[in-house]
Chains A and B, each alone.
Chain A
Amino acid sequence: MSTPKIACLQVRKAYPRDRQADLVALERTDLEVRAGEFVCLVGPSGCGKSTLLFMVAGLIEPTDGRIEVDGQEVRGPDRSRGVVFQPDATFPWLDVRRNVEFGPSLAGLSSDEVRRIGQRAIDLVGLTDYASLLPRELSGGMKKRVDIARVIANEPDLLLMDEPFGALDAMTKQRLQDELLQIWERERRTVLFVTHDLEEALYLGSRVLVMGLEPNSIRSVLAVDLPRPRTPTMRTEPQFQALRRTLLEHLDAGAPVSAASKSGAS
């Protein structure tokens, strides 16, 4: 088998505390993502899913273990691993175009080239008519498009998304999910997508990795064998609902033992 795109080997992240046991954000975890895969990470708050993603991004260093991308150990952030964050990360002092051109403009390309790459990404996310607006003139969904376009413009091998649509209203969220899928269908970049929204994970992902608390780690994997391209009507089909039920069971199994015995609810 060829080298996986992402390989996490016994990765662990712990923060030392005064006179207490370390705070373990992520217990030893293995993860493999193949090139071109769309993998979703779900789990309750505090299970370490964002920590794992940030470590793959190179923004957090693992305490133990090793993370490799294309067989190379991750050491710090790199433009080949683009990150879309949950909060708005657009630079408010730059207009949409300059925001999107930010990455390419760092790489020492000619200004024509930067412009061309930026324009392509702007068109791709449907911001063509808004290129000269400032972030303060945009809605939350539009700002998220800028975030995505800015990362796409860098042509990363790997797209890391940390609950990117978590702060959006339901309708905007669904629209952006479909746009993201269309971009993915076209370019087939590897995506690692963190969310706590089960429907989102099933709708987008080819595989859903379910994380649990105490120990914070990946507990199970669910293959999402829905056909591609995914369409909005699939959300209501029995197959989708069945997957949803299975995923819920997986999540319940991932709850810490004490909490699970207290309540089967939520």
Chain B
Amino acid sequence: MNAVTTRSEGVEPTPTPTQRPRRTLTRRRRRAIGISVIMVLVGGWLALTLTGSVRALFLPGPGDLARAYGELLPGLPRDIWDTLVTRIIPGFLVGGTMGLLLGMAMATSGLVSAAVDPIVEILRPLPPLALIPLLILWFGIGGTTQVALIAFGSFIILVVTAYEAVRNVPPIYLQAATTLGATQRQVFRRVVLPAIVPDIFGGIRVAVAASFGYAVAAELIGAQSGLGYRLVLARRYLLTENIVAILVVIAILAFLADQVVRGLNRRLTGWKPRA
């Protein structure tokens, strides 16, 4: 059409440094080094346990672990279900959603901020785990305690994240939007919401990881099912191999949960420079 420009300038993406000073290793090298270290550790573990130089009570060997999984396997789906599906997921969703909504409300409304800020500031430094005894008194050992603890922990993390994220939206975006005719609501929906997504995902990752911690901790202290409860039983009967076996399961679950969050993050914030 009637383009006014000569296009010699072309598309010239901002160059992103491919090598930061500290990271002079190639991807492949890094991976090779990481795998080598793991292999050395596994080798050491095999050497120590297979030669019998460490008692299985302290460090179980591969045979012990296999037996432990054989023993735990029938109950494992149930335990994972209880911990993950009935406790972590609802606790995180309820607490996280409330935290996000309240954090955004605080950042956008002086009234909400004035009303809620003191409470949040008092609760924020409180270690959530310290609430466990009180929650057990209130809700017993049937699972509600874990949900409440996870909800509280996720809430605190995300209320702060959401508040800071909204506060950190560059003013230039807000000025640009209002001078283009956006109402306050349009600014919030079309500028603030998309702009805070990357920060929010940072908070979600932290909250998801913390939720696993809260779930297991609350199960260690008062529960009748779940992975943390299995840990307590295993310790009571000195079944070290069961403890290790359950730890591996928890680690895998937490890792997968983090991968899900990261995958979502990558899909939603692909626009970010150096994503």
Chain B residue numbers with a CB within 8 Å of A142 are: 9, 11-12
Q: Is the CB of A179 within 8 A of B11?
A: no
Whether the Cβ atoms of A179 and B175 lie closer than 8 Å is: no
Kindly report which residue of chain B lies nearest to residue A87, judged by CB atoms. B172
Contact of B179 among A77, A94, A138, A175 (CB under 8 A): A77
What's the least CB distance linking A73 to chain B, in Å?
A: 17
Q: B109 near A: Cβ within 8 Å?
A: no
> Quick one: given A103-B181, A139-B12, are A126 and B175 in contact (CB under 8 Å)?
no
* Across-interface contacts of A92 in B (CB, < 8 A): 271-273
Inter-subunit contact A125/B190 (CB<8 Å): no
Which residues 86-130 in A have Cβ within 8 Å of B in the complex? Answer: 87-89, 91-94, 102-103, 106-107, 123-126, 128-130
The smallest beta-carbon distance between B160 and chain A, in angstroms, is 23
Question: What residues of A have a CB within 8 angstroms of the CB of B186 in the complex?
Answer: 106
Inter-subunit contact B194/A91 (CB<8 Å)? yes
Interchain CB contact under 8 A, B195 and A93:
yes
* With A129-B7, A139-B11, A175-B5: A85-B180 Cβ-Cβ less than 8 Å: no
Whether B180 lies near A137 (C-beta < 8 A) is: no
Bound: A130/B12 CA distance, A:
11
- Known contacts A103-B181, A138-B11, A175-B9; is A89 also within 8 Å of B175 by CB? yes
A223 to B173, CA, bound (A): 35
- Contact with A124, one of B4, B10, B190 (Cβ below 8 angstroms): B4
Bound complex: CA of A136 vs CA of B178, how far in Å? 23
Interface size class of chain A, counting residues whose CB lies under 8 Å from the partner chain: 35 or more
B105 on the A face (CB < 8 A): no
Given A59-B175, A89-B173, A136-B14: A123 touches B3 (CB 8 Å cut-off): yes
Q: Are B9 and A150 in contact (CB-based, < 8 A)?
A: no
CB neighbours of B51 from chain A (8 A) = none
Residue in A81, A133, A139 whose CB lies within 8 Å of B9: A139
Asked if B210 CB lies within 8 Å of chain A CBs, one says no
CB pair A137–B175 under 8 Å, yes or no, is no
Q: How far is the CA of A103 from the CA of B179 in the complex (A)?
A: 9
| Across-interface contacts of B12 in A (CB, < 8 A) | 138-139, 142
Residues 231-261 of chain A, each 1 if its beta carbon lies under 8 Å from chain B, else 0 = 0000000000000000000000000000000
A123 to B2, CA, bound (A): 7
Query: Are the CB atoms of B13 and A137 closer together than 8 Å?
Result: yes
Of all chain A residues, the one with the shortest Cβ separation from B177 is A102
Residue B176 lies at the interface, judged by CB distance under 8 Å to chain A: yes
Whether B182 sits at the interface, judged by CB under 8 Å, is: yes
Q: How far is the CB of B192 from chain A (nearest CB, A)?
A: 11
Please determine whether A82 and B180 come into contact, CB atoms closer than 8 angstroms: yes
Residue numbers in A under 8 Å from B80 (CB-CB): none
CA A31 to CA B59, docked complex, whole Å: 83
| Selected contact of A106 from candidates B3, B172, B181, CB within 8 Å | B181
CB of B134 closer than 8 Å to a CB of A: no
Q: B6 within 8 Å of A by Cβ?
A: yes
Judged by a CB distance under 8 angstroms, whether B89 is at the interface is: no
Residues on B lying within 8 angstroms of A by beta carbon are 1-7, 9-14, 172-173, 175-183, 186, 190-191, 194-195, 197, 269, 271-273
User: Hey, which bits of chain A sit against chain B, CB under 8 A?
Assistant: 57-59, 76-79, 81-83, 85, 87-89, 91-94, 102-103, 106-107, 123-126, 128-130, 133-139, 141-142, 145, 147, 150-151, 154, 172, 175, 179, 182-183
Closest 7 CB pairs of A and B: A79-B181, A126-B5, A139-B12, A103-B180, A89-B176, A123-B1, A136-B273
